[in-house]
Amino acid sequence: MLALGLLGAQSPSPDKELRLRFGLVATRAVAIFRSADAIEGRLGAEGSGLSAQLVALRRQIEAALDQAESAVDNHDAAAGERIGRASALLDRFSQQLGGG
């Protein structure tokens, strides 16, 4: 009886792990996008804005997050890869936004 309880407590299911990974990437995206919005607001006050490249990259990230969420929801075997792609694009966006 004790062994059965221990087996269930070992590790979360792959679906739960993917859902958690997706949630972390999506939460990070929200935070970075809020920063980008604040920067864009300041630039707008000066008569400027974010580069077209950053705007396009943000759209790519949003699409990648949508695809990743759909893959997770549908238990698609490619869900992990899609989450990774969204995360990599988000890393690139964050670096370019910060000038790094």
Which of 63, 89, 64 lies closest to 79 in space, CA to CA? 64
pLDDT at 72: 97
By the 8 A CB rule, do 93 and 56 touch? no
Q: What is the pLDDT along the chain (100 residues), one digit of tens a residue?
A: 444 455 555 677 889 999 999 999 999 999 999 999 999 999 999 999 999 999 999 999 999 999 999 999 999 999 999 999 999 999 999 999 986 5
By the 8 A CB rule, do 93 and 57 touch? yes
Domain ranges of the chain: 13-98
Which of 54, 50, 48, 81 lies closest to 67 in space, CA to CA? 81
pLDDT at 1: 44
pLDDT at 99: 64
Tell me 10's DSSP state: S
CA 11, 28, 54, 97 torsion-angle sign: negative
By the 8 A CB rule, do 49 and 43 touch? yes
